Amino acid sequence: MTQIEFLQDEKARDILIKWRKDLSRHTADRAELRRARNTLDIAQVGFFHLLIRWLREEGYEVTFYNREALAVAAALVARIKTHSKSGRFAEQMSRKRKGSPIISKMRLRRILAADDLEDLLKELSSAIRIMGERGNIIDLADSVIHWGDRARRNWLYSYHGNTII
């Protein structure tokens, strides 16, 4: 079994993009994912299970340990109407609108302080709304499924424009 790495693995990335494209034609499931407030809500959406199945069919590891993070990533991807490939998600949050970052440093702190996946879902849902429902779905999904100290640090560096790619 292979770890899910949307940023590094083209096959995993293609699965996510295809799933998101197909989701746009399943409006009821998309609406349910957009309204989901926790992982139980997400787990009740049939189209989310299609993502799991597609990943598993291609040899990716979806287990008890990462499926909740994948659920949150899927719900957040469903909230983004326009996929923007220009930059990492945290970098996109820091872009200026009327002289200030779209997502303030205070809101970024709340996102980084999220101590569980449901807090992360709440904070990032709010950020996505503020960003006009646009963002890099690949970087967002990858960051969420690997959420931890390393992802938090990468977001801080990206937000402040010091990313090394």
> What digits encode the pLDDT tens for the residues 136-157?
999 999 999 999 999 999 999 9
- Specify the pLDDT at position 111: 98
Percent of the chain with pLDDT over 70: 98
Global pTM value? 0.95
At 97 the three-state DSSP class reads: strand
- Specify the pLDDT at position 52: 98
Structure tokens at 56: 């598993």
Q: With 60 as the cut, is the pLDDT of residue 165 above it?
A: no
Q: With 70 as the cut, is the pLDDT of residue 163 above it?
A: no
- Walk me through the domains of the chain, giving residue ranges and CATH numbers: 10-159 (1.10.520.40)
